[in-house]
Amino acid sequence: MIIKWHDIHSVNVKEIDEQHKKLIGIINKFFEFDAADKVGLVEIVKELSDYANYHLTTEETYFIKFQYPKTEEHKKQHDFYRAKVAELTTKLQAGETAAVFAELSEFLREWWINHINNTDQEYSEFFNDHGLY
């Protein structure tokens, strides 16, 4: 599943769009390497963890700043992301490379389709209405 950025993916906030493009790069990197590449898989999971630390925090900061009405609902999805990446990290440390590859493949597809292309789109107009572009 290689993803290409299109305007339909935009949330109309440059900073967040750039961060989403970074996620596309991570996802594409994941889908281009061999499932048996444990070192590559560890690197991808680390990148996904680092991504959560800055991107999800960016969104959550704006939720608080602008009092986004769906903050709690949205943050629950972010917490799920963080927990899933932590779980995958633990499984990798236990040597469960094949299981992690399969789970991560499904997780990244679902996250891109459901969260980035749907849930994140819900705040686009709200942020723009508060002067964030």
Helix, strand and coil in the chain, % to nearest 5:
80, 0, 20
Residue 10 contacts residue 17 (beta carbons within 8 Å): yes
DSSP code of 53? I
One digit per residue, the tens of pLDDT, for the chain of length 133 reads 789 999 999 999 999 999 999 999 999 999 998 888 889 999 999 999 999 999 999 999 999 999 999 999 999 999 999 999 999 999 999 999 999 999 999 999 999 999 999 999 999 999 999 999 9
Q: How far is CA 91 from CA 15, 38, 66, 98, 99, in A?
A: 32, 12, 37, 10, 8
pTM: 0.94
Domains along the chain?
11-129 (1.20.120.50)
Residue 114's φ and ψ, nearest 5 degrees, are: -85, -40
